Amino acid sequence: MPRLKPEARAEKEEQRKTQIIKAAYEVISAKGYNNFTLDDIAKNAGLSKGGVLHYFKSKEDILIYLLEQIYIIIKKNISKRAAKYRTPERRMRAIVIAFIVTAKRHPAFYTVLVDFWAQIPINERVKHINTEIYTQLCDEVVKVIEDGVSQGVFKPVDPRQAAHVIVAMVMNVAIQWTFNHELYNIDHLAKTSMKMIMSFLEAKPK
């Protein structure tokens, strides 16, 4: 059997990793963080346990990689939507919508994230990765707030502090809805959240 070229080999390995991570996501969604084995992931991915371990050294390595990928997808949604608009107000609205759209399009994302968060007190790797990528999410909001303040359309608030409050509020709106769709109309609550955020941020006309 002919050997694959380095580029083809790298592409194949990336495809295998994606296949394994997709399987891990589906298994955790169904069983929870602590209630599955590598065999479960391998079976879901259509691979042997050895095949899974060829790409990831341990179950924890798979979980850490999965956590990174979930946050990356959320961040990409935020960046992509915010980049469509020029004004800070429109970009902020796009960010809020991105969190909500993520909950709608990927129903188990936030459920899986909460499973990861439960591991933070006992797992330093999860704590480190979560802090690092959550900070990157907030950085996207910080940039919009800083632009708004510099343009005089937002009050001179502390951008970092305000970003943490906004991300915490909007993400919780998405998470609680994920757990129970009957709790509230997520679109209506997203609009209410946006009104509250803009009321806090917008500078009063002189």
- Specify the residue for token string 């042997």: 48
pLDDT tens column, 164-204: 999 999 999 999 999 999 999 999 999 999 999 999 999 87
pTM of the entire structure? 0.83
CATH, domain range 60-201 = 1.10.357.10
Q: Does domain 1-57 have CATH number 1.10.10.60?
A: yes
**Is residue 4 over pLDDT 60?**
no
Residue extents of the structural domains in the chain: 1-57, 60-201
Angle ∠(199,205,206) on CA atoms, nearest 5: 145
Mean pLDDT, residues 46-51: 90
Q: Return the sign of the alpha-carbon dihedral for residues 133, 136, 140, 145.
A: positive
Half-sphere exposure of 127 (CA within 13 A, CB side): 6
Residue predicted with more confidence, 172 or 70? 172
Residue predicted with more confidence, 13 or 49? 49
Helix axis angle, 88-105 to 124-150, nearest 10° = 150
**Is residue 2 over pLDDT 60?**
no
**Mean of the per-residue pLDDT values for the chain?**
89
